[in-house]
């Protein structure tokens, strides 16, 4: 992996006509340093006393045994005490403490309080009280933490800080897909942006390609013009099903490639390619598809969207394709059971009701979150969700990172969205090789110019097959299989008959080939 290129000017476009080789940005040139917030231990001790006094008064005495201060909330770990009932000593029931949250909130004059009973791995009940002052968790805080550095995957990303202020990071390739839900203003887009920024900080376009879908047109269009994008940010809802189908075809094509060399997954495939071709052959990049607002798509084309997303989610892990989907509407019509079943990694931001929380996490709790990045993260293999304050990435940081990557295209000025143009226009000046997606979709809409040649060739060969067309026409698997489909539709060829491929039904003007005996 190339190192950072702090020595050569990262934003320079010195050699105007020569594309520079990819180099990763230096983190300290992109991300801003966080500020340390000071807090008052006295406030915590005072609150601990209020908790003990209030619960005692309500007949549920507890002892505060631990205080953890996080960026947004402070967690008071409490142990139930004993009470005397009819001569015998019994412990206060956990359920009793949990039922008193509203009284506690009133006593502490807190907006909402969440009780976690018990805290997994700890012997106490967690009472989470909002801090008076909320500390910002910057992306840099987490990216430079040990928790982040420990992860070696190129798709690692910063999530935030937990209730004790410890940095938490995760690995997208292990998830392998992520569902993010929460009401408006709760922090979904900020979360998606910090995930994208983490990926852009650690991956060149050779290693990672992105597809972004943003029906709202304001959340992701800033990324237009970076070389990782396979196509400009897709903003038209009608185009999305086509995009998803393209990704499905790409997945099939990748499976085909893996099968050809007998690799089980993309990592194995790339390693083998490196070893056998000395790195001359292009490696398969990872592909991450971002959808910021699933609801719009599910309204327009529920069956196609759900079908494509579930098929991708079920099959794409081995081929290095990952989905990140956000939605404002965690209802069962949008986040359907089948979609949910395929997204074991989920983030819930603040939601309006515990019904919404159940839709996302299968349990209540998200209705008690505070908004603005306060989240519950459910890791795919974890028994319970953890509460985090999400990382914040500023528009300025995003802009710096975007212009860093844009600077690799000498002729590209700023993307139209930033230059004040139409946000969804294809940025001008970007080499066409950046957009095979578009070419491909175009070819699908229009008739493939190679169709006549493919028909002619197949008639002369007396058979047709995807691999034959691939070889003879020097085209990719995807395009070749579409040509075969088109020939089938036209009735030129029939069914697949064994390893030799498809039989020819219509020989047209050409004479059938002479059978060799
Ligand atoms: N992690 C965070 N730290 C601090 N502030 C945050 C964080 N996340 C979000 N915010 C604040 O909340 C605002 C709204 O966040 P964001 O745009 O991500 O919401 P959203 O969930 O995408 O909403 P919508 O559904 O309307 O698109 C941000 O502009 C920011 O001020
Ligand atoms: Mg948003």
Q: Read off the pLDDT of residues 60-82 as tens digits, 9 standing for 90 and up.
A: 999 999 999 999 999 999 999 99
Residue 466 is encoded by which pair of tokens? 């995807």
pLDDT for 165-200, tens place per residue?
999 999 999 999 999 999 999 999 999 999 999 999
Tokens 């908004």 belong to 371
pLDDT at 422: 29
Residues facing residue 388 across a β-bridge: 162, 375
d(CA 368, CA 317): 33
Q: Are residues 111 and 227 in the same domain?
A: no
Nearest one of 189, 213, 182 to 300, comparing CA atoms: 213
Q: How far is C-alpha 312 from the geometric centre of its chain's CA atoms? A: 13
Distance (Å) of CA 72 to CA 61, 75, 135, 295: 26, 10, 6, 29
For 187, the domain range is 136-406
Q: Are residues 98 and 153 in the same domain?
A: no
Q: Are residues 290 and 351 in the same domain?
A: yes
Kindly state whether residue 15 falls inside one of the protein's structural domains.
Answer: no
Q: How far is C-alpha 293 from the geometric centre of its chain's CA atoms? A: 12
266-275, 296-305, 390-399, 441-450, range with the lowest pLDDT: 441-450
Residue 37: Cβ-neighbour burial (10 angstroms; 0-12, 13-18, 19+): exposed
d(CA 343, CA 314): 9
Q: Are residues 177 and 316 in the same domain?
A: yes
Kindly state whether residue 3 falls inside one of the protein's structural domains.
Answer: no
pLDDT for 292-314, tens place per residue?
999 999 998 899 899 999 999 99
Domain containing residue 471: CATH number: 1.10.10.10
Task: With cut-offs at 50, 70 and 90, classify the pLDDT of residue 426.
Answer: very low
Q: Are residues 159 and 241 in the same domain?
A: yes
Kindly state whether residue 51 falls inside one of the protein's structural domains.
Answer: yes
Of residues 471 and 434, the one with the higher pLDDT is 471
Q: Cα of 241 to ligand 2 centre, how many Å?
A: 21
Domain boundary among 107, 130, 153: 130
Residues enclosing ligand 1, CB less than 6 A? 136, 182, 184-190, 328, 372-373, 390-392
Of residues 475 and 358, the one with the higher pLDDT is 358
Nearest one of 181, 176, 182 to 343, comparing CA atoms: 176
Q: What is the CA radius of gyration of the chain?
A: 28
Q: Cα of 122 to ligand 1 centre, how many Å?
A: 31
114-123, 200-209, 424-433, range with the lowest pLDDT: 424-433
Domain containing residue 257: CATH number: 3.40.50.300
Tokens 């494509």 belong to 308
Kindly state whether residue 515 falls inside one of the protein's structural domains.
Answer: no
Q: Cα of 138 to ligand 1 centre, how many Å?
A: 13
Q: Are residues 206 and 240 in the same domain?
A: yes
Report which ligand 1 atom has the smallest distance to the Cα of 182. 21
Q: Over pLDDT 90: what percentage of the chain?
A: 57
Q: Cα of 62 to ligand 1 centre, how many Å?
A: 36
């Amino acid at each position: 992996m190339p190192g950072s290129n702090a020595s050569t000017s990262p934003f320079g476009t010195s050699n105007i006509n020569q594309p520079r080789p990819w180099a990763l940005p230096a983190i300290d040139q992109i991300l801003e340093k966080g500020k340390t917030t000071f807090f008052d231990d006295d406030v915590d001790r005072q609150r601990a006393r209020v908790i003990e006094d209030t619960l005692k008064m309500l007949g549920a005495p507890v002892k505060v045994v631990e205080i953890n201060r996080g960026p947004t909330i402070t967690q008071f770990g409490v142990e139930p005490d004993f009470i005397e009932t009819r001569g015998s000593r019994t412990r206060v029931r956990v359920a009793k403490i949990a039922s008193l949250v509203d009284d506690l909130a009133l006593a502490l004059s807190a907006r909402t309080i969440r009780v976690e009973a018990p805290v997994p791995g700890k012997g106490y009940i967690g009472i989470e009280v909002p801090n008076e002052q909320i500390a910002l968790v910057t992306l840099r805080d987490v990216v430079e933490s040990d928790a982040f550095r420990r992860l070696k995957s190129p798709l690692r990303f910063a999530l935030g800080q937990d209730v004790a202020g410890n940095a938490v990071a995760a690995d997208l390739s292990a998830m392998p897909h992520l569902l993010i839900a929460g009401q408006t203003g709760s922090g979904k887009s900020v979360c998606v942006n910090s995930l994208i920024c983490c990926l852009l900080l650690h991956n060149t376009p050779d290693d990672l390609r992105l597809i972004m879908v943003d029906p709202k047109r304001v959340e992701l269009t800033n990324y237009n013009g970076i070389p990782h994008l396979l196509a400009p940010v897709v903003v038209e809802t009608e185009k999305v099903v086509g995009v998803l189908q393209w990704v499905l075809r790409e997945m099939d094509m990748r499976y085909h490639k893996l099968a050809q060399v007998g690799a089980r997954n993309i990592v194995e495939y790339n390693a083998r390619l490196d070893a056998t071709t000395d790195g001359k052959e292009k490696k398969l990049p990872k592909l991450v598809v971002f959808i910021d607002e699933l609801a719009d798509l599910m309204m327009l084309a529920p069956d196609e969207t759900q079908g494509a997303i579930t098929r991708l989610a079920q099959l794409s892990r081995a081929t290095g394709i990952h989905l990140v989907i956000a939605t404002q509407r965690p209802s069962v019509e949008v986040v359907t059971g089948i979609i949910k079943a395929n997204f074991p990694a989920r983030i819930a931001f603040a939601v309006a009701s515990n019904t919404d929380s159940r839709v996302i996490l299968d349990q209540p709790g998200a209705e008690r979150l505070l908004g603005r990045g306060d989240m519950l993260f459910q890791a795919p293999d974890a028994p319970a969700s953890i509460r985090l304050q999400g990382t914040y990435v500023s528009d300025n940081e995003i802009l710096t990172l975007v212009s860093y990557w844009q600077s690799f295209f000498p002729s590209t000025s700023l993307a139209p969205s930033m230059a004040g143009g139409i946000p969804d226009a294809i940025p001008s000046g970007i080499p066409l090789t950046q957009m095979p997606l578009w070419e491909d979709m175009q070819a699908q809409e229009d008739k493939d110019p190679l169709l006549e040649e493919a028909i002619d060739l197949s008639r002369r060969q007396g058979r047709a097959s995807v691999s034959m067309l691939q070889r003879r026409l020097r085209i990719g698997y995807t395009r070749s299989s579409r040509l075969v489909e088109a020939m089938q539709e036209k009735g030129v060829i029939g069914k697949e008959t064994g390893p030799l491929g498809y039989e020819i039904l219509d020989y047209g003007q050409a004479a059938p080939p002479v059978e060799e005996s």
